[in-house]
A and B are shown apart, each in its own frame.
Chain A
Amino acid sequence: MNLVIVGLNHKTSPVEIREKLSFPAQTIGEPLKKLTGHYGLNEGVILSTCNRVEVLAITSDMEKGVWQIKRFLADFHSIPLEKLDEHLYVHCGEAAVKHLLRVAAGLDSMVVGEPQILGQVKDSYSYAVEHNTAGVVVNKLYHKVFQVAKRIRTETKIGESAVSISFAAVELARKIFGDLSGKTVMLIGAGEMAELAAKHLINNGIKEIIVANRTYEKAVELVKGFGGTAIMFREFAHYLKNADIVIASTGATTFIIKPDMVQEVMRERKQKPMFYIDISVPRNIDPLVNNIDNAYVYDVDDLQGVVSSNIQERNKEAEAAEKIIIEEIDNFYRWIKSLDVVPTIIALRQTCDQIRKTELARSLPSLSALTEKDQKVLEAMTSAIVNKILHHPVTHLKKEANRVEGDLYIDTIRKLFDLTVDEQAVKKAQSNED
């Protein structure tokens, strides 16, 4: 029972390769079926996002499995394997589990800790379930992955701080105002970025929105989507005192909001704090406004600075997440290994019992004097002998399987008794395990 991941991501390959290799969600059934059918892998999952394409498979022979996946990727997309190979990474066994956990937790993402990837991993798993390419190992593995990803989310702050400018603005607003419900935001100029920031603010509870734009119609149109007030551009100074958050993004080449103006506004609103976000270049808000008590001014560069310090903060949290992953892998791998031992024990029992039955069947005809009752006694006795002989080997095998040399024990037993592991028995053992 071996786990293999073959794939590529934004670090190992350029976008030209990634886009060629991607598997659209609508038609993912076909490649999944090919993977487990034609290419003979036991179970398979395909994860395809804009930053990565990965195939996870369960195989009985690791080396062969890796080769099969590579062939599959090359054949399916009709790319020569020689061209593809340099971009592919391969993770086997424990390393594969670790890789999957890191991907799901967002540790392998371009923006560390981004939450979308977990949803994409979930999707990839549900496609596999839908198309019957997820078996017991994959089921168990992915449940574990989701559980660990959740643990990382709750125990570390990896996804907490904003890593985009518009989210950074929301985060800052919260550090100034605490609760945003009941607050008012004013957009001066209705650029795309201003609109996006306003949207985030509204999602975080902002009560009212005022839009001032040079083309009044555009302001009206924008307000329709949000349910706010559109005002004439020249009126904005008059409304300023009602706004707690001001987002400026006009094409003006001079400062349209100046310290004396803000001073007056602050007096009118009894010094209630104001947050000025200047996302226009050249700037629209005089940076000196920041020197006024209870007024905070952030321009694009400031917000970018916030974003980069947040990213640093995330990277610090990523270390804690890595530790959690290492902890969880130990637990999980123990289970994976036990999958090997269970079928071995079953095969051992079956082989010995088969010998017993054959020998019994051979001897019984020459023991014609036995009554039916005697035969039953004989049956029970031979059965007991087999069980007693196997008792210690089986106990030790179970115990040793979780240790470092577990594989060695399993291998030895298989060789000594010349066991062939019955697929049917494996399946049965696995479903019992669940």
Chain B
Amino acid sequence: MSEIFFHITALLYLVATFIYTAYLVTRKDNFLKIAQAALSVGFVLHSLTIVARWALSGHTPATSLHESLTLFSWMIVALNLLAVVRYRQRVLGAFVAPFALLLIVTASLLPKEIIPLSPVLESYWLPVHVIMAFLGNAFFAIAFFLGIMYIIQERYLKSRRLRGLYFVLPSLDTLDELNYKCLQYGFPLLSLAIITGAIWSEYAIGSYWDWKPRQIWSLITWFMYAALLHGRLTAGWRGRKAAIFSGIAFMILIGSFIIINLLSGGAHGLAR
């Protein structure tokens, strides 16, 4: 059952991606509405997939790369829908949908079997750590896309040639503000994820911190976002500079995530 939902989710995200693209090209509001509907229905099925998987495995579905990507994708779409409802940011979906689709398709290509959790890792820290880590990263992903939108919009305004996306993208100020907001939520979540990860590690293998690649890279990302936050608060980093910085930070985050998972075979290689 969850298998079927998973495939329909992927299909709906694909449809949403196409229709969002059609919207960006034609700028007809109807396309936007349909794309949003497809994404929302996909999201509901996506949720069901995750719930079913959780029930089936009995632990937070983030122990294989397949599960991790599925969960990450879900959180990004969730934040996008939040942005639509709460901040009326309807164009963001056009950037988020292809990314969510990419994550889902990648997940579908990876081995899907449920990896049993080794008893030492079974703990309440698992869901807490995992959810914080992915939610934090999802905020950074949204910040990344807001940054791209900012850079595009800024390009239009600086060049003084207003056409195409200029008409549908939100104002620079709105984009910058939301980007900052993502950082404000993402950074504490990342910090907590690192702390809970350390505590969990202490429970499981008796050591808070042992300089595994995963830990080193989390720390690097943490420092990058800390620097960005600091720059925003004190040095007046904003706009394009902040957008570019958060873009680079996110790419490092994604890069390290991929490399580490390829090396370890998912979930920090802690499973099994």
Interface residues of A (CB under 8 A from B): 161, 172, 174-179, 267, 270-273, 290, 293-294, 296, 298, 302, 305-306, 309-310, 313
Contact = CB atoms under 8 A, between A and B. Distances in A.
Contacts of B172: 175-178, 273
B239 A293 contact: yes
Contact of A176 (B160, B163, B173): B173
A177 B173 contact: yes
A194 to B, nearest CB: 19
Contacts of B238: 270-272, 294
Nearest first, the 8 closest Cβ-Cβ pairs linking A and B are: A270-B236, A178-B171, A271-B236, A178-B173, A178-B174, A302-B160, A177-B173, A294-B239
Contact of A177 (B160, B166, B171, B241): B171
B161 interface: yes
Contacts of A174: 171
A271 B241 CA distance: 11
A401 B170 CA distance: 51
Interface residues of B, number: 21
A293 B171 contact: no
Contacts of B236: 267, 270-272
Interface string B156-174: 0110111100110011111
Contact of B171 (A175, A302, A305, A309): A175
Q: Which of B166, B171, B238 has the most CB of A within 10 A?
A: B171
A176 B162 contact: no
B163 A306 contact: no
B161 A305 contact: yes
Given A176-B173, A296-B157, A298-B160, A273 B166 contact: no
Contacts of B161: 305, 309
Contacts of A305: 160-162
B174 A309 contact: no
A180 to B, nearest CB: 10
Contacts, number: 56
B17 interface: no
15 contacts: A161-B167, A174-B171, A175-B157, A175-B172, A176-B172, A178-B170, A178-B171, A267-B236, A272-B236, A273-B172, A273-B239, A296-B157, A298-B160, A305-B160, A310-B162
Nearest to A275: B157
A268 B162 CA distance: 30
Nearest to B169: A175
B47 interface: no
Contacts of B240: 293-294
Given A271-B236, A273-B239, A172 B170 contact: no
Nearest to A183: B173
B153 interface: yes
A164 to B, nearest CB: 15
B237 interface: yes
A175 B166 contact: yes
Interface string B223-250: 0000000000000111111000000000
Nearest to B236: A270
A161 B167 CA distance: 9
Given A175-B166, A309-B163, A296 B171 contact: no
B12 to A, nearest CB: 26
Given A270-B236, A309-B162, 4 more contacts: A175-B157, A294-B240, A306-B162, A309-B163
A298 B157 CA distance: 9
A172 B157 contact: yes
Nearest to B172: A176
B158 A271 contact: no
Contacts of B237: 271
Contacts of A290: 158
Contacts of A271: 236-239
A273 B154 CA distance: 11
A306 to B, nearest CB: 6
A371 to B, nearest CB: 73
A218 to B, nearest CB: 31
A366 to B, nearest CB: 75
Given A161-B167, A293-B241, A273 B173 contact: yes
A344 to B, nearest CB: 42
Nearest to A271: B236
Contacts of B166: 175
Contacts of B239: 271, 273, 293-294
Contacts of A177: 171-173
Given A271-B237, A293-B240, A306-B160, A313 B173 contact: no
B242 to A, nearest CB: 9
Contacts of B241: 293
A270 B236 CA distance: 5
Contacts of A310: 162
A178 B176 CA distance: 11
A8 B162 CA distance: 35
Contacts of B158: 290, 296
A193 to B, nearest CB: 18
Nearest to A302: B160
Interface string B20-46: 000000000000000000000000000
Nearest to A244: B173
Given A273-B239, A294-B239, A309-B162, A176 B167 contact: no
Nearest to B167: A313
Nearest to B242: A271
A271 B233 CA distance: 12
Contacts of A176: 157, 171-173
A175 B166 CA distance: 9
A351 to B, nearest CB: 52
Nearest to A269: B236
Contacts of B162: 305-306, 309-310
B198 to A, nearest CB: 36
Contacts of A313: 163, 167
B250 to A, nearest CB: 21
A296 B160 CA distance: 9
Interface string B166-188: 11001111100100000000000
A176 B177 CA distance: 12
